[in-house]
Chains A and B, each alone.
Chain A
Amino acid sequence: MAGFNKIKITPPRWLLAELTYACPLQCPYCSNPVDYAKYQAELSTEDWKRVLSQARKMGAVQLGFSGGEPLTRKDLTELVKHARDLGYYSNLITSGYGLTEEKIIRLKDAGLDHIQISIQASTQELNDHIAGTTSFRHKKEVAHLIKKHGYPMVLCVVIHRENIHQMPQILDMAENLNADYLELANTQYYGWAHANRDLLLPTKEQFEEAEQTAQAFKEKVAGKMKIYYVVPDFYEDRPKACMNGWGTTFLTIAPDGVALPCHSARDLPGLDCPSVNEYSIEEIWNDSKAFNFFRGYEWMKEPCRSCDEKEKDFGGCRCQAYLLTGDMYNADPVCSKSLDHSVVQQAIESAKISATLSATEKPLIFRNSKNSRNMV
């Protein structure tokens, strides 16, 4: 089989550098692995510099510094500087926690291109509850400072059942903070969000109302602010084209140096995701088992294998197929052609039932080390 239809490998263009799993916040929708507490090791500054250089040479040009909270890394400015020298466009993806005016200036001087700051809700009470940390006022101050120092700013708000009713106020807030882009990220159910799905998944009616509000706003602010709307795939009948195709565009490096074709791939069985401690980015991207695993279409089962839409969505998300059907080769069950499509309906029903329970009967599991150790 191999050798004949050799799949053409495109260069990586996006590098997501997850600098650390440390984070002062505790968002219950966090996309980090639920067992993150067991990965304590972190790459050194020199390791990261090598990774950035090698990935740049391979073609990566968009660079996200994320985590956890990347600001907890003392060498962030140094890494930003290195990235700038290499010609990356660097994005800092932060909760804003711990960001001061002095740091904002220092990062700018080092060549940081853009800052994405997340806010959890439009009110202090809800923001601080979801973040599990008092942070609302500080975040808003930081947003002002980001603009003051001339960065383009993306304001990111993750949307779920607890804050979806605030959509109009969230939009106002984005306008008042002069965000250049507003990312309305409907929760994607991986990691902690998967564990808390019953409490986070809104109803279809809630989604539709929020979406209409966002759509009207989008037209109103056209030319001034751009809206990135991350669709809630549980209410779609086709899956998202995950990662723009496996191993075609995106490369994630986890804090301990494990290279991932998508940020949840750590949970997939048998991939043997390679570490930058052992291999170069070139070896990882071109030759590793993990990055070749779902390249192309040969791995597919029915109904994807003979589906005429496979080049559009690549069968959807492998992690979602695995989490919801137990088999990572299946079609993403969000697809209405999937034989397992009913699991999505069941998840929606189950969330509806949970909505009637009180917080003591069914509490949110916050993302912290204690909970992480208990989840294993």
Chain B
Amino acid sequence: MLEYRNVHKSFDTEAGSLVVIKDFTASIREGEFVVLLGPSGCGKSTLLRITAGLEPPSRGEVLIDGRAPDLHGRHRLGFVFQEPALMPWRDLVSNVTLGLEIRRIAKAERNRQAVEILRLLGLQGFEKYYPHQVSGGMKHRVAIARAYIVDPIILLMDEPFVALDAQTRESLQRDLQDLWQRRKKTVIFVTHNLEEAILLGTRIVVLGKRPATVQMDYEVRLAMPRDPVSREFVDLRHELRGMLA
């Protein structure tokens, strides 16, 4: 349902042309939780932006259900950026309901859905708070809720948890997994952290140094929810680390 066909991307700068993605081909099925794993600067964010239609590919094509990404409503996408990017003049509910507001859904219905998803993410009681009144972890939860609430056919997440401390990150990973199991979605999750990749992904696509090409495409068969100190988890991590070295 999501296809990348020989996607190339280069940026023209004063210093010359910088090839960021080279011949990226992959096909992603509905309901997969794909983790894109690669060193920083290899072109992961660029690939997500191309997937969302925020940036055109230089060559090749991206097809969502057979059609190119279209920002104007044909495809419902969710994008969680690295920083939560909550609008400081909106309270948490109206941050979450931004996408519904854009789709002109009635206010009562918007709020009903927001309250529900905020509850699923452990934020009940904070609906009327403003972003500056809540913690970093809570802001990230709101950013996830804002993407999830439009019921996207694909959810794109660009290293959403890197800025968080280990404890908050773990709790968000757990909640994301929980949410995903309740409401299955196609997710493309970018990270440079192998442990996070194994914890969340049903499939791990490893990218090499820039320009990004697929180094390895691995199906993760561990049962969910995954326990990072379990035997299988640790074994798999060793195995993958060996293969990546």
A-B interaction: no
